Amino acid sequence: MNAAIAEHAGRIVGLVHFILHRSTISIAPTCYLQDLFTLEDVRGKGVGRALIEHVYEFARRAACARVYWLTHESNATARALYDKVADNSGFIVYRKMI
């Protein structure tokens, strides 16, 4: 598990958690961006983008093949950013809670 924070004027305004893991479809490691959060009053000001770019750079240095994450289809605020910084893979996630 890896983490980074965004700070402005001595205040933490955002955070990101990400995990490097192996995959059956790639020899290179893969990076899963698990959590991304910014305070409401800084949304739209580049904090989320900077945290994602930090993960991209970390993944490049770790020779990852890709970075991916999930979000809910109703999360319009986040998706507006995600559509600018990554490609929507079109996958639908199925799960069963055990």
DSSP string for residues in 61-94: HTT-SEEE----TT-HHHHHHHHHHS--------
- Going along the chain from its start, the domains and CATH numbers come out as 2-85 (3.40.630.30)
Task: State the pTM of this model.
Answer: 0.93
Q: What is the DSSP letter of 98?
A: -
pLDDT digits (tens, 9 = 90+) for 10-46: 999 999 999 999 999 999 999 999 999 999 999 999 9
Those residues whose C-beta lies under 8 Å from the C-beta of residue 88, and which sit 6 or more positions away, are 82
What are the beta bridge partners of residue 2? 18
pLDDT in tens, 41-65: 999 999 999 999 999 999 999 999 9
